[in-house]
Structure 1
Amino acid sequence: MAHAIRTLFMVAPLLAPMAAHANDIPAAAENTMPTITITGQAENSLQVKASASNKFTAPLIDTPRTVTVIPAELLKETQAATLNDALRSVPGISFKGGDAFGAPGGDHPSMRGFDSSSSLFIDGMRSAGAQSRETFAIEQIEVVKGPSSVYTGRGSVGGSINIVSKVAKVGDFTNTAIGVGSDGYARGTLDANRALGDGTAGRLNLMWHEANMPGRNTVDYSRWGIAPSVTFGLGGPTQVMLSYYHMQSDDMPDYAVPYARTGGQPLDVPRSRFFGLTSRDFIKNTADIAQAEVRHDLGGGFKLRNVTQFSRTRLDYIATNPQWSGTTGDTLLLEAKSGIFGMKSLTNQTELTGQLQLGGLRHSLVTGLELSREKSQRDNYYVLDSAGGNLRPGASCKVAYNCTSASDWNPRNPWTGSYTRTEPAYPVLDTTTTTASAYVFDTVTFNPQWLLNAGARFDSYRTRATTDASATVKATSLQNDTNFANYQLGLVYKPVANGSVYASWGTSSNPVGVDGGQGGDAIAAATADLSPERSRNIELGTKWEVLDQRLSLTAAVFQAVKSNARISDGMGHTINAGRQNVEGVELGVAGKLGAQWDMFAGYTYLDSEVRDGGPTGANLGKQFPLTPRNSYTLWTTYRLLPQLKIGGGVTSVDKQYANAANTVGVPAYTKFDMMASYTVSKQLSLQLNLYNVGDKKYYDKAYGNYASVAAGRSAVVTASFSY
């Protein structure tokens, strides 16, 4: 923590002069919470000043937490097509590869050293289920760093990610984009909004996407999606918004390469070498989300909001996972991993927001109730080779195509085995999780210089998991019932209206089975009776809006501690006894440095360590998996001419370990991207994106037994039509 604090002290003097020389800094004024209107695409700005979430009861500059908002303009300039692509613009986020209990194509982000796969949200509602998320219907993405269960409930140890959906609004516009590029890239999107009369508007988003993975053309992607919405009562006291989202994909899964027998690095083979089997492997994903939202202005500054969301996801796959055969030689076993993940969830959330004077102080309040029920089923495929041998735990190299030399494999070899649903040794797991939550947030304004932000949330959590008996295993029935509360407290000092300095404290709770049976944290006999893991976050930071408030600057130091992590007691049991610490620094820049110059950049330093390994002392002093010490991202554009804009970006990430023992991992990397756009007319613009310009070979996902090779150099040209 001392290193982090020193860094902040070095950065703070750099921010203060910029604030002091900002043009036309307004006098200190009351910090009224503005009406939130998301217009990132229309404003063509990389700076977002307010969150779409009501739980942030002040503008972002007065919110005492590290919050990074990825605006629509950044998604457009980088042509980020998936959630993972978009999140790579934020330093400090790493990505875990999937395995038998987490599909290789799903979204598995890790923040500040902790898995955040179960901390993804859509419009403030938990996005449950194994899936790969698209960007075609996204308005902006909000990333909250550090333990934050007070905002989102269970999990959220490293932070949470909220996706803000595009919905029908006032105005008529049509935005169409058609992109073509190298490696078979083809993508089309449509975003059309129309006034339908009498305060009603409709919006339709469409997407179709086909591509091969640059440098690994055997790996391909195919998906399409549709997202209609309609809003009634625009301009009136009551608004009703109905929306639906459907996306489905059919891709080739890619476990890439195992780690070398010595040295702990990924096996050094050409980027193009794919150890899968194209005649058998697949990964298919379907997501359906229906949402109804009602907003009503009660008068007197109070508003009521109720949202009901139903979602259904399904992801199933068979993938080849290359593993070493024996302890010597270069022979790889081509194991077959598989999964069938289904999830249905129903959530209702009611919020009351408003402002009032109480005790001579102004309060910006939010209070809410949330009820949710998630039902999931996890199954797999029973994959057999041509001799009837099981391809999951290992295979006989005497059977054709079960094994290969690391230096030679043809992914188009024929598939001579068979597969059926459900392997006898791994029966179907059914999990039901119900949660009832209540929360309250308040920003108290003492005077124009001092604010207090406080929040509390209570969750009543119930999870049940059952498996049926099979020929080889007994039926099981497990449950975990627990109640937990979390808190947030932050003090904000505003030396001027466009700057703030803050100190905050917040907590998280991570109960057993937080992933609803969809990943590696499913409830099990060894963990069913354990209490939630507890985490807390201490953060000191400062935020400034400079250069006529067109540029946001942020800096923070923090310490996050998980105090009762689940660990082994050395006698075959799991207990709550571990302690894990991560300390670090966050820096951010977003907005305009000049009339023609835009920037979105950040830096994260993470010092993670296992401080208490419990009775066994396991991994004591080790660094967390997927927690690089240093990472930074930069995206910047400059308008050379009224019609011509050029830009580029850099992403740099330190070495990351892939396991808790720190014996294997992926090396550090730095890669560069470029773009140029030209406005042909008011209706037509052209954009060229070059990715991984230096054709850097690096690894963008890691797991305990394999590393994912990232895409090579590629180019995409996009024509955008607006009318």
Structure 2
Amino acid sequence: MRAASAAAEPVVELDEMLVTASADASAEGLRPVYAGGQVATGGRVGLLGSMDFLSTPFSLTSYTQELIENQQSASVGEVLLNDPAVRVARGFGNFQQLYMVRGLPVYSDDMAYNGLYGLLPRQYLAAELVERVEVLRGANAFLNGAAPGGSGLGGAVNVMPKRAPNGAVSEVTAGVQSGGQIYGAVDLARRLAGERFGVRFNGVRRDGDTAVDGESSELALASVGLDWWSDVVRVSADLGWQDFDREASQPSITIGGGIQVPDAPRASRSVAQPWTYSDERDLFATIRTEVDLTEGLVLWAAAGVREGEEENSFANPTVVAADGTSSSYRFDNVREDHVATGEVGLRASFATAGVGHRVVASAAAYALDSDNAYAFSSFAGFAGDIYAPFAVVAPAADFFVGGSLAAPLRTERVRTSSVALADVISFADDRLMLTLGVRRQKIESDSYDYDSGARLSSYSESRTTPVAGVVYRFASRVSGYANYIEGLSKGDTAPATSGGTAVVNAGDVLRPYVTEQIEVGAKFDFGRLGTTVGVFQSEKPIAGVGSDGVFRVLDHQRNRGVEFTAFGEPVSGVRLLGGASFLDTDVAGNDSIGAPTWQVNTGVEWAPVFLPGFVLDGRMIHTDEQFANAANTQRVPSWTRFDFGARWRLDFDDGRALTVRARVENLLDRDYWASAGGYPGAGYLTVGGPRTLVVSGTLSF
């Protein structure tokens, strides 16, 4: 009888509950990784949140932590070398990483951290902090708000922080690179309190000489990522600290007027003076919360702060003769940044008469207070030679001084605020999706005298930026898309004089500049291979003084291009990542500075089935010729770089694993000019890195 009763009892099978850590505090979490593990199936699309790439009316790629680790990338800039629409350049007069996207700059201090501007270290970000590096190509003022630094007109870069995954993480990494620089890192993660609370710690240390003779750097990083979830509430938070110091780093080099661009100097030898340096220290924190108010209605809020300090001494050469003779002067500066930023929003999902709606409303604010001081040596400069560099005694930086290097005053104040509303409307079982939205943006900026602190200028203007995007799913794995979207940046103030002649409207403030973009394209997901092809055009205003003496918008920079990307693992053990971009720019009949016509990336990995855990990888990066001046008389040659790597993962019976990685960058040791310009109107050049061997081992336990 007991056996019969037991057999009659119903068996209830419970659905498996999978706990997914969420970097952005959303219920969905990060988009899954695509076949091959190098990119994700989608990413963050500004205030619209996380979206699948097939359902997004924009061009987006999200690079994964797996790719970052396997390529031993040290910085976000090294990760972005994989993108065919992006090239890494440098800020004006410093070592700030700058990303040229579709021929327009994205300053590293305009990079977003989990959707918030201004929280990351301003010049350089160590890649160990990052779970995903997301590149959105194209204008994006509606999606992200106007970038506070005035860049981001051709694209946006957002990084997502690490979170504790479902399984414990215990990893220790040690490595070395050419020149003798040593590297150590630790990555620890645990989930506690019944999997509801997660903590992840990352610590990094790099120290020593690099592959460039005479150059050294030192980096220390510590970060903690936390997350907690309940049935209706999700919270994530981050605390990070980075200290990055450089000595005698390869400087930017300007080619004097009337001189053709000479051959690049030896990449393996620094042209810098031994007394030059750049030190940067940053402490930042952020918190993000999402609450399910009712079914289909979600409230979110996020906030963050950063305290940053910089001290620098530069001597960037200007080539004054075809034989490489140069002239330099010393430039010292200090900077202290105080940033606070935040956003709040509501997201509602519902259907009416068979039409789906995903309505998003948000408000955002950003505040920067920056204290600065500078000191120059005599502009007469000192002589040098980029082909046979020699050291000189550091000249006194007392010729032209602004403020006190020991106690800088407030010199810049930036405030931005905006409100936005969008509706993603879906028809025909989500085969057709229409995105409509508008953002009202206010930009405020004040500048102050370096010596007295007195206000010199003030800017306060508002502008409304719309968006319209459409996606049509021709099949479950094929979609076409189109968008109209704008970029937004602060307008200029009319100068007092131009060419020695008084400007009629001197002091007038122009309204914010609007960069208009249209784009159409198609996306394909073949199951194990994804591709995107897009055609775009953008127009960016250019202001100047007309023949009537009035300062106003006179012309537009027109950028027109075609992009193709491919990613995935089409055949088991063979992974692809790369693409090509074609760019045609026009500024008064000439190409814009630092905008190559062609860029091609090809990355291939091969994991032979007969050697489990072993992988070979290769990458080719080609950049077409570009120009270093507006008149297009200084032509920078094209360049091609090859990288090669191998890794081997060994799994032990006790659950431990050892992964050994080796990689050679610039395999053929080619000397080349890697980029031209980056700051509008400037055509300084940067030298590509020399052949560099990087070896590391990661023990997982």
TM bucket normalised to smaller: 0.7 to 0.9
Q: What is the match of residue 708 of structure 1?
A: 686
**C-alpha separation between the residues in 1 aligned to 2:548 and 2:88?**
32
Relative to 1, partners in 2 of residues 1:153 and 1:66: Cα closer, same or farther, differing over 3 Å?
A: same
Counterpart pick for 1:482 among 452, 461, 480: 461
Counterpart pick for 2:201 among 204, 207, 211: 204
| 2:138 maps to 1:146 | yes
Q: Is the 8 A contact 2:246 2:278 kept in 1?
A: yes
Shift of 1:175: 2.5
| 2:440 maps to 1:453 | no
Matches within 5 A, 1:406-417: 408-411=388-391, 413-415=392-394, 417=396
In percent, how many aligned pairs have the same letter? 19
| 2:425 maps to 1:444 | yes
Q: Is the 8 A contact 2:330 2:397 kept in 1?
A: no
SS at 2:157 equivalent: strand
**C-alpha separation between the residues in 2 aligned to 1:256 and 1:58?**
39
The amino acid that maps onto 1:444 is I
Relative to 1, partners in 2 of residues 1:425 and 1:293: Cα closer, same or farther, differing over 3 Å?
A: closer
SS at 1:540 equivalent: strand
| 2:573 maps to 1:605 | no
Instruction: Tell me the alpha carbon deviations over residues 559-597 of structure 1, each in whole angstroms, 9 at most, x when there is no partner.
Output: 1112x3223436876422221111111101111112211
Q: What is the match of residue 23 of structure 2?
A: none
**C-alpha separation between the residues in 2 aligned to 1:405 and 1:45?**
46
Q: What is the match of residue 673 of structure 1?
A: 643
Q: What is the match of residue 136 of structure 1?
A: 128
Instruction: Tell me the alpha carbon deviations over residues 501-548 of structure 1, each in whole angstroms, 9 at most, x when there is no partner.
Output: 11211112111489xxxxxxxxxx9776111111111111011110xx
Relative to 1, partners in 2 of residues 1:578 and 1:205: Cα closer, same or farther, differing over 3 Å?
A: same
Counterpart pick for 1:274 among 270, 278, 289: 270
| 2:297 maps to 1:302 | yes
| 2:83 maps to 1:115 | no
Q: What is the match of residue 17 of structure 1?
A: none
Relative to 1, partners in 2 of residues 1:256 and 1:491: Cα closer, same or farther, differing over 3 Å?
A: closer
Which moves more between the two structures, 536-545 or 65-74?
65-74
Instruction: Tell me the alpha carbon deviations over residues 615-639 of structure 1, each in whole angstroms, 9 at most, x when there is no partner.
Output: xxxxx20111111110011222111
**C-alpha separation between the residues in 2 aligned to 1:228 and 1:372?**
23
**C-alpha separation between the residues in 1 aligned to 2:480 and 2:397?**
62
Q: What is the match of residue 522 of structure 1?
A: none
Instruction: Tell me the alpha carbon deviations over residues 50-95 of structure 1, each in whole angstroms, 9 at most, x when there is no partner.
Output: 2145524642111111112112222122111111111111122234
Instruction: Tell me the alpha carbon deviations over residues 248-304 of structure 1, each in whole angstroms, 9 at most, x when there is no partner.
Output: 1110233254437765214554334533221x2110011211112222222312222
SS at 1:295 equivalent: strand
Q: What is the match of residue 497 of structure 2?
A: none
Q: What is the match of residue 561 of structure 1?
A: 539
Shift of 1:439: 1.5
Higher relative contact order (CA closer than 8 Å, sequence separation 6+): 1
| 2:335 maps to 1:341 | yes
Q: Is the 8 A contact 2:384 2:390 kept in 1?
A: no
SS at 1:74 equivalent: helix
Q: Is the 8 A contact 2:409 2:451 kept in 1?
A: no
Which moves more between the two structures, 625-634 or 456-465?
456-465
Q: What is the match of residue 16 of structure 1?
A: none
Q: What is the match of residue 662 of structure 1?
A: 632
Q: What is the match of residue 127 of structure 1?
A: 118
Relative to 1, partners in 2 of residues 1:665 and 1:119: Cα closer, same or farther, differing over 3 Å?
A: farther
Shift of 1:329: 7.9
Shift of 1:467: 0.9
SS at 2:435 equivalent: strand
Matches within 5 A, 1:521-600: 529-546=509-526, 549-562=527-540, 564-569=541-546, 574-600=551-577
Matches within 5 A, 1:53-132: 53=45, 55-56=48-49, 58-100=51-93, 103=94, 105-117=95-107, 119-127=110-118, 130-132=122-124
**C-alpha separation between the residues in 1 aligned to 2:278 and 2:570?**
44
Q: What is the match of residue 642 of structure 1?
A: 612
**C-alpha separation between the residues in 1 aligned to 2:386 and 2:614?**
48
**C-alpha separation between the residues in 1 aligned to 2:386 and 2:155?**
39
Which moves more between the two structures, 149-158 or 599-608?
149-158
Shift of 1:706: 3.7
**RMSD of Structure 2 on Structure 1 (CA):** 2.9
Extract unaligned runs of 5+ from structure 1: 1-33, 384-389, 396-401, 515-524, 611-619
Q: What is the match of residue 6 of structure 2?
A: none
| 2:501 maps to 1:494 | no
**C-alpha separation between the residues in 2 aligned to 1:660 and 1:136?**
38
Relative to 1, partners in 2 of residues 1:526 and 1:662: Cα closer, same or farther, differing over 3 Å?
A: farther
Shift of 1:478: 0.8
Q: What is the match of residue 178 of structure 1?
A: 174
Relative to 1, partners in 2 of residues 1:189 and 1:444: Cα closer, same or farther, differing over 3 Å?
A: same
The amino acid that maps onto 2:192 is L
Instruction: Tell me the alpha carbon deviations over residues 666-695 of structure 1, each in whole angstroms, 9 at most, x when there is no partner.
Output: 311011111111112251111111111111
**C-alpha separation between the residues in 2 aligned to 1:572 and 1:175?**
65
| 2:489 maps to 1:510 | yes
The amino acid that maps onto 1:458 is R
Q: Is the 8 A contact 1:480 1:528 kept in 2?
A: no
Shift of 1:371: 1.8
Q: What is the match of residue 37 of structure 2?
A: 45
Q: Is the 8 A contact 1:36 1:52 kept in 2?
A: no
Counterpart pick for 2:351 among 354, 357, 370: 357
Q: What is the match of residue 517 of structure 1?
A: none
**C-alpha separation between the residues in 2 aligned to 1:41 and 1:444?**
26
Shift of 1:122: 0.8
Q: What is the match of residue 595 of structure 2?
A: 627
The amino acid that maps onto 1:442 is D
Give the TM-score normalised by structure 2: 0.86
**C-alpha separation between the residues in 2 aligned to 1:445 and 1:99?**
45
Q: How many residue pairs are counted as aligned between the two chains?
A: 644
Relative to 1, partners in 2 of residues 1:424 and 1:197: Cα closer, same or farther, differing over 3 Å?
A: closer
Shift of 1:451: 1.5
Shift of 1:44: 6.2
**C-alpha separation between the residues in 2 aligned to 1:87 and 1:328?**
33
Relative to 1, partners in 2 of residues 1:570 and 1:697: Cα closer, same or farther, differing over 3 Å?
A: farther
Q: What is the match of residue 23 of structure 1?
A: none
Shift of 1:419: 6.0
**C-alpha separation between the residues in 1 aligned to 2:35 and 2:535?**
31
Instruction: Tell me the alpha carbon deviations over residues 295-335 of structure 1, each in whole angstroms, 9 at most, x when there is no partner.
Output: 2222312222211100122222111122356x798643221
Q: Is the 8 A contact 1:287 1:313 kept in 2?
A: yes
The amino acid that maps onto 1:112 is R
Shift of 1:420: 10
Shift of 1:207: 0.8
Extract unaligned runs of 5+ from structure 2: 1-25, 494-504
Q: What is the match of residue 376 of structure 1?
A: 370
Give the TM-score normalised by structure 1: 0.83
The amino acid that maps onto 1:603 is A
**C-alpha separation between the residues in 1 aligned to 2:122 and 2:598?**
29
Counterpart pick for 1:228 among 216, 221, 224: 224
SS at 1:409 equivalent: coil
The amino acid that maps onto 1:358 is T
Matches within 5 A, 1:428-439: 430-439=411-420
Q: What is the match of residue 322 of structure 1?
A: 317
Relative to 1, partners in 2 of residues 1:341 and 1:420: Cα closer, same or farther, differing over 3 Å?
A: farther
Shift of 1:169: 4.8
**C-alpha separation between the residues in 1 aligned to 2:634 and 2:309?**
32
